[in-house]
Amino acid sequence: MEKAGASIGDLLKVTKNGFTYKGVLMPRSEYADDAHIVLKLKSGYNIGIRVTPDITVERLGEAEKPAFRPPPPPKGREGLPRVSIVSTGGTIASRVDYRTGAVHPALSARDLYSVVPELSEMANIEADILFSLYSENITPSHWSQIARRVAEHIRRGAEGVVVAHGTDTMGYTAAALSFSLRGLPCPVILVGSQRSSDRPSSDAALNLIGAVTAAVKAPFAEVVVAMHEDTSDRAVLLHRGTKVRKCHTSGRWAFRSVNSKPLARVVEGRVEMILDDYRPRGEGELQVLDGFEERVSLLKFHPGFNPSLIDWLVDEGYRGIVLEGTGLGHVGRYCYDALRRAIREGVLVFMTSQCIWGRVNMNVYDTGRDLLAIGVVPLEDMLPETALVKLMWVLGQTDDPEEAVRLMRKNIAHEISPRTGYGVSFVG
């Protein structure tokens, strides 16, 4: 490395095992050890190359600084579909300074084009920075703001909207948009990245290209999450916003559809539908129902769970509780009195399962039947996280408890799958 006189930001030609790689030398990050060189290829992808005795490195010059790369000429872009990218923060919405390794928000369409040049060929993009938040700091009031901003872009003529979002709570926001954007005429695609673009094997470029492809070409008008299918760079999956969950802390394939197949996938620039029962583009009148009640709690039951916690929520004026029970939808008998009191005082209590996969069924064992008798309402195969968001949304729409229970049990945005037996939804 030193021999070649190369430094961070230089354009290099690296030859190894008969293969030649041309790209910009990236700073080492915690994911790249001393034994690897990390190059950003022209395609936008980063690769790590192991340093072995047979490697040769040639410095071709200083790389063009991406931040200063001129945007593509505007000619020809008039005919392209209009896509808005609403940025809320997170790794996907950042741009790396190749010199310092520091991460900055990608502020403009120009920035986006400079990081992922392919975008300029695909759509006429309007970039809109709504917030710059790590997604663990996103709250229900942010969901409302995102819903309203997305609707604004659609009303102004966007043919698809991409929402760049941190991955930590992207599943929760996807559910919130699924419920609050009624009568959607076009797709709304949430996208994130698990590794920022200064790391080898960053997923930012592929996910963003997949999201914009879906915004332009998808035949459906639903809220989905666009993320890597697997460890290859072949495809991006489009998961329904109510059925998706981040199931790995760091893998690029972390987002999985639970109790459902993904809705579609983007592969080689095409959108391939996996499910065929979807809301088509172009129909309906957009309506934003963006009220969320925050006095709703998700409680995960565990051995030794303290039922006084339920009493505390009642005393604090909570209006709804989603239980993450065990198995088919159970909690210990020692919680019954607290649940009885909560329900007597008007708190709505619903049951989901901490198993994550599968459906609650409270008719199999006495425990389940007792809970039904107390007034706990089972939520079929709804994800606990989706159930929480839905209950916040439902109690934001109505003050009538019977109507709230009816809405919770009603399938509004594919959050409840039809019963199809015990399909294997994961293997491992």
Residue where the block lists tokens 């310092």: 100
Indicate which single residue of 146, 360, 376, 395 sits in contact with a second copy (rule: CB under 8 A): 360
Q: Which residues on adjacent β-strands are paired with residue 96?
A: 103
Pairwise CA distance, residues 342 & 154, whole Å: 42
Q: How far is the CB of 71 from a second copy (least distance, A)?
A: 30
Sole window of 70-78, 151-159, 270-278, 351-359 interacting with a second copy (rule: CB under 8 A): 351-359
Sole window of 48-56, 151-159, 273-281, 288-296 interacting with a second copy (rule: CB under 8 A): 288-296
Q: Is 128 a catalytic residue?
A: no
The active-site residue, picked from 167, 169, 213, 386, is 167
Pairwise CA distance, residues 412 & 416, whole Å: 8
Considering only CA atoms, which of 50, 44, 47, 59 is closest in space to residue 16? Answer: 50
The active-site residue, picked from 97, 168, 233, 370, is 168
The active-site residue, picked from 10, 88, 91, 173, is 91
User: Do strands 235-240 and 264-267 pair parallel, antiparallel, or not at all (unpaired)?
Assistant: antiparallel
Q: How far is the CB of 366 from a second copy (least distance, A)?
A: 7
Residue 358 touches a second copy, criterion: CB under 8 A: yes
Sole window of 73-81, 217-225, 267-275, 417-425 interacting with a second copy (rule: CB under 8 A): 417-425
Indicate which single residue of 43, 132, 398, 425 sits in contact with a second copy (rule: CB under 8 A): 425
Residue 249 touches a second copy, criterion: CB under 8 A: yes
Q: How far is the CB of 357 from a second copy (least distance, A)?
A: 4
Question: In this structure, are residues 60 and 52 in contact, taking their beta carbons and an 8 Å threshold?
Answer: no
- What residues between 383 and 412 interact with a second copy by CB under 8 A? 385, 388-389, 392
- What residues between 299 and 328 interact with a second copy by CB under 8 A? 300-304, 306, 308-309, 312, 316, 324-328
Tell me the three state secondary structure of residue 92.
helix
Q: Is 20 a catalytic residue?
A: no
Considering only CA atoms, which of 11, 80, 67, 22 is closest in space to residue 49? Answer: 22
Residue 254 touches a second copy, criterion: CB under 8 A: yes
Residue where the block lists tokens 């293969």: 19
C-beta of 324 vs 415, nearer to a second copy: 324
C-beta of 78 vs 316, nearer to a second copy: 316
C-beta of 161 vs 328, nearer to a second copy: 328
Tell me the three state secondary structure of residue 331.
coil
Among left, alpha and beta (phi > 0; psi -120 to 50; other), residue 175 is alpha
- What residues between 63 and 102 interact with a second copy by CB under 8 A? none
Pairwise CA distance, residues 80 & 213, whole Å: 12
For 17, phi then psi, to 5°, come to: 55, 30
Indicate which single residue of 213, 297, 386, 417 sits in contact with a second copy (rule: CB under 8 A): 297
Residue 240 touches a second copy, criterion: CB under 8 A: no
Q: Is 246 a catalytic residue?
A: yes
Report the 10 Å Cβ neighbour count for 266.
26
Q: Is 91 a catalytic residue?
A: yes
Residue 424 touches a second copy, criterion: CB under 8 A: yes
Sole window of 59-67, 250-258, 282-290, 398-406 interacting with a second copy (rule: CB under 8 A): 250-258
Residue 296 touches a second copy, criterion: CB under 8 A: yes
Residue 366 touches a second copy, criterion: CB under 8 A: yes
Residue 420 touches a second copy, criterion: CB under 8 A: no
C-beta of 124 vs 260, nearer to a second copy: 260
- The full DSSP string for 104-172 is EE--SHHHHHHH-TTHHHH-EEEEEE-----GGG--HHHHHHHHHHHHHHHHTT-SEEEEE--STTHHH
C-beta of 44 vs 90, nearer to a second copy: 90
Give per-residue burial for 108-142: e unless 16+ CB within 10 Å, then b.
ebbbbbbbbbebbebbbbbbbbbbebebeebebeb
The helix (run of H) or strand (run of E) holding residue 208 is helix 204-217
The active-site residue, picked from 40, 243, 246, 390, is 246
Residue 329 touches a second copy, criterion: CB under 8 A: yes
Amino acid identity for residue 190 in this structure: L
- What residues between 123 and 162 interact with a second copy by CB under 8 A? 134-140, 143
Distances (CA, A) of 3 to 56, 222, 237, 427: 10, 54, 43, 48
Residues in the interface with a second copy (CB under 8 A) total 76
Residue 369 touches a second copy, criterion: CB under 8 A: no
Question: In this structure, are residues 179 and 389 in contact, taking their beta carbons and an 8 Å threshold?
Answer: yes
Question: In this structure, are residues 328 and 361 in contact, taking their beta carbons and an 8 Å threshold?
Answer: yes
Indicate which single residue of 2, 5, 30, 285 sits in contact with a second copy (rule: CB under 8 A): 30
The residues assigned a catalytic role are 91, 167-168, 246
